[in-house]
A = this chain, B = another copy of it.
Amino acid sequence: VTGQGTIVGDVGGTNTRLGYVPFPGAGVRRVVQYLNADFDSFNSVLQAYLQKIDEQGCGQMTLAIAAPITGERVSLTNCDWVIDAAVLRRLTGARTVHLLNDLAALALSLPHLAGGRLSHVAGPAMPRAGRKLVIGAGTGFNAACLLQGPPQQVLPAECGHMTLPVETAADLRLRDHLAQGRGRASVERALSGQGLCEVYHWTAREAGQVAQNLTAGQITEHAQQGTDALCRAATQTVLRLLATVVGDLILAYLPQGGVYLAGSVCRALHQLMAAEGFADRVAAKGRQSDLIRGFPIHLLGDDTAALIGCAAQADLAMEPVA
């Protein structure tokens, strides 16, 4: 039946992925990824997708958005789009449009993921019962906590805007560099794709060297191949800060069910984690180190999981997660 399925979407700061669930439990099909920069609004992306999958509209829609969800109208944090549920209902004929935070959607996907998508990073290797914490570093940084149900509930957050940790004089110089023109430096200023580039440029400046014009992906590639000392130093700094933040967030959520690292930056840094003593740095919290070592940490292999989280929410007819 045309227009009766569910459109699911993951609207990030750089890319938008859309998928279609023809009937509850059918799984996410016909996934297409778009580059936000190619479109003037989310509505244009949606129209391109409907045309592509040859549908006039849909019965319902669930969108994961890289922004705090405070109502029916949401402004993206790292992109100037506005997403308005009322407009989307008119545009597609959908009876319901659910907007949820993108990390909340990743958290909702966790019970539905095949084990093959996960790589062990630290702590106990086996999955455990209890609340789970997803931490994502990509275009931006954020986290969300999936509570052990029933009922299934997600705690959304805005952890990317927390204060960037500083523990040494070099950290403070980096913080001041990142805070220029803003008055403060948030976690996201270092722990994101753009952040890695900024840390690389600061590293070059500190060394009195000239930075090349590299993308975050190129920086981590050079670091892994050991072909560029500045790239290696920059990824070491970012990994150290990431470990500090992951340890701090473990203390905040005590996620007995484990920590799941997600996002392009975490994936790109994954191979360097063992060599850089990532697990020990996460646990370096004085008297609570043993407590932290008890929590399993895994890497989530791909981000299409957010679409699975959207489908899970739609299937369950859950209340929207603010």
Contact = CB atoms under 8 A, between A and B. Distances in A.
B248 A158 contact: no
B167 A285 contact: no
Contact of A172 (B169, B285, B322): B169
Contacts of A155: 131, 145, 147, 155, 253-254
A267 to B, nearest CB: 23
A157 interface: yes
Interface size bracket, A side: 35 or more
Contacts of A171: 166
Counting every copy of the chain, the complex holds 2
A253 to B, nearest CB: 7
Q: A interface, by DSSP: helix, strand, loop or mixed?
A: mixed
Nearest to A158: B251
A13 to B, nearest CB: 13
B157 A251 contact: yes
Most chain B C-beta atoms within 10 Å of own C-beta, residue among A161, A182, A285:
A161
A117 interface: no
A95 to B, nearest CB: 26
A158 B253 CA distance: 8
Nearest to A77: B287
A142 to B, nearest CB: 10
A285 B186 contact: yes
A167 B155 CA distance: 28
Given A166-B166, A184-B284, A184-B285, 20 more contacts: A143-B252, A147-B147, A147-B153, A155-B254, A157-B252, A157-B254, A158-B251, A158-B254, A158-B288, A158-B291, A161-B285, A161-B286, A162-B251, A162-B285, A163-B165, A163-B247, A166-B171, A166-B172, A169-B172, A252-B253
Interface of A: 68, 70, 77, 131, 143, 145, 147, 153, 155-159, 161-163, 165-167, 169, 171-172, 175, 182-184, 186, 244, 247-249, 251-254, 256, 284-288, 291, 294, 322
The 10 closest A-B pairs by CB, nearest first: A166-B166, A162-B248, A158-B251, A161-B288, A163-B165, A161-B285, A162-B251, A161-B251, A252-B252, A157-B252
